[in-house]
Structure 1
Amino acid sequence: MESPTQHTVNESSNKISFVAVLDKASTSDVTVDLLVNGTVEAEDYTSESTLTFPAGDTALTITIGIVDDAEDELDETITITITNPNGATLGTPSSLSFTIVDNDIPSLQFANESQKVDENTGEISVNLSLDIPVCQNISVPYTITGSADKNDDFTIPGTVDIMANNNSGTIPVDIIDDVLDEPDETILITLGNPTHASLGEQENHTITITDNDTPKVSWSVTSREVAENVGTIDISATLDIMSYTQITVPFTITGSASDQDDYSIADSTIEFPPNTQTKTISLSIIKD
């Protein structure tokens, strides 16, 4: 058989071809058996079991078919050995070895682009998908951005591992239910380069956290008595929890006192700026 005895081929080449030779021509047909072994699976190649040198020929091209499948596999070895010659004796080398390099690289991406969850949801799963199952464990790094704060609004591990023979994985995200009134927040997860796989088109996943904390507003005191000559009095309203957003609270005035005759007030709403829990309005008492 030809030399060298070690070769590398890509799975997409579809075949392995090499030449077996006789050192001299024979007046009758010469037959040999082919023995195929190695780490290659039987479904990954095709081969004749017996070959014939026609009388007078000294060279014979041998072709082993390589099956270009769509499976993620480790590189495989295939060793072809000539045995049981009939009409000739066995020379050296009688074996050739090939490494078949796999050409199927799994593509990894998020299963969907986004999701929206309530702040009190607890743990959620962000799903990853592979177009084909992986033949070995893969590790996927990712980065976190967005308006939500890690460890205050959510917790998440730093990498995700997908075990061999699987075509999906999940990133667990634990949503923290705080007691703050805040705008809806986002978590943007961006995939890094995985081991033993490539990145698909959907590299980003956005989680929108819908806030569930609505402040309750109340007067600091529900009633009071003042003298007509007191002048101006301050009335305070309070939010039960801090708010990170502007809050406007309208109010109405009823009762037996008359506006502009017994009292005057400049506002009809209470404005709570962000991060403010108490706000005071002024009411002028008119002494008649």
Structure 2
Amino acid sequence: MTPIDDGEQESNETVVLNLVNGPGYARGTSVAGVTITDNDVGPPAVWVSVAATDASAAEQDGDPAEFTVTRAGPTDAALTVYYAVGGTAESGDYEEVLTGQVVIPAALTSVTIPITPVDDPADEPLETVVLTLTGHPTYGVAARTATVTIADNDDESLIVSIAASDPDAAEQGTDPGEFTVTRTGPTGAALTVYYSVRGSAGAGADYTPALASHVEIPAGQASATIHITPVDDAEDETDETVILTLTADPAYVLGTAEATVTIADNELPVVVDVTLNPHPARPVRGVAEIDPSGLGVKTVRVAFSEAVTFAPGDVTAEKVAFDALGRETSVVAVVPASVGGSGTNEMTITFADAWQTMVDTWVRITLLDTITDAHGHGLDGEPAADSAGLHYIRDARLDLSSGNGAAGGEAVFYVGSLRADLRGFGPDGDMPNGTVDSWDITGFTQKYLAGSLDADFRGFGPDAEEPNGTVNSWDINGFTSRYTQAIAAGTRLEDLPTAGGQGLAAAAPVPLPLLAADSPKESATSRAADSAPAPTGRPEAVLLAEVAAAPAPAGEAEPAASSLVAEPPPGRQLTRVPSVLQRIAAGEEPGVGRRAAAAWDVSPRTEDRPAAEDPLEAGDGLVDVLSLPALNLPTVL
């Protein structure tokens, strides 16, 4: 009695024979048994299976088929899988020598077994190769059997083949692709040839028409064509494919059974996002926005709609200043220290010593149309505006990403730096506004206490003026220094030109709309200058009320520093001079002189408004930044 090794986990089994009475004998020992011991212990750790991953081979052109043996389970060691070979094909009908076993190498989950037909002269029917996995103690068998078919090519009346007679389709101009299905032999009757469709392109979304899975070669003709017409969508995508594979049928045998048409995309790369000085501890700023810290314009990150290639010379940078009419008053070229990220969808532009050389200025970044995508399409950087404003757009967030739909055209945008410009006017004016004034003391206080890198003005030590990625008490000194310098010089950034290029034509510029006196964008000190003109010989850009430049009138006492303010404009509220400026006015801050600043609440005075709702009552004063406690915050480089 020979047991069958079935691979099934089971208990020991018995076979028992029992003699029964019959004529001519008497029973002695009448019962005996045999025990069959199982050799399967627990469920297999590894399961193997076989599949025909290419089930059609053909003698024509030696078109191969392929089996794939796959394992599921641990892959730390090589695994030998055993199989038996069957089918109607003989070993001489294909090139490979099938040994009955295949090794899946360590770390891999599968291995292939090719079947390459031998193109012999014999006229023969379709032949099959059947691979059957056999059991073994090292694995269990899931899918046990797979079959591939070898088509003969010696009966010419039965062979059909497919080719991509135009393999290159394109969305641009909806340039079609084409397959051609060909038959050999008699053409007296129509022949229907069947096929399957696969590939990365989708019917309807990427091409038309939806394919019917068969094509008819008319009577009297040797071929038929299948056309693929691309859909010109607005999606930025990689090239896509349509793959047709002929399927077997009793009416014919297969020759070359597969062909591919590729659809080229025509979307152009555009700029989709710009980030100035990106860092988790820094507010996100982009096009036409200002970094108020001591860092300057150090890093500009540009995101594109797709991967692009570029060289450092494809980027130019210039420090630019404008007058109140939007006209350029100076342009200074700056060479970036590095331009990285070619081959990806992100460009990083960095500037050396930005805290010294790229501060208190607008910076114009120009991306040339020599930046290209994988198809060689040039950057579509032309904004959707008239030509006069082509390169000078204040809010380029929309224009950069829209382009004009044609390759070519530079992508141009501005980013800015104005140190100590941490706040606009009013309690909600928490964004830099292009001016340095007493509101920025409050803004710095808030940023400093929050540990924001907007308050990073200085490293450690009296002479360490470069921002160091840490917010600490040294930054109070750094801010104070930058603030007082800006106040003394009347530093501000003029508004960028608006969309349409106003003020930029070669002829006389069209004036931009001036800001009203009550506009939150206008400098408070500019309003103070309007109501109390600076003394003779002092530039109006010095936005401080001049005090004590000459002796006090006879019989009058020298005013206290805290009272050195200009009269407020009608309907405005007076705020007390911040203590840091009181020291400036009193001559306690070297190199600045005796000056003080007045700040006005931008909202009209409402007499019936409760005093508790008035954020800037006279005498309240602003916080003294020098009295802030030193923070022991972690480094955030």
* Structure with more of its chain in strand, by fraction: 1
**TM-score after normalising by structure 2:** 0.23
**TM-score after normalising by structure 1:** 0.46
By relative contact order (CA 8 Å, sep 6+), the higher-ranking structure is 1
Of structures 1 and 2, the larger Rg is shown by: 2
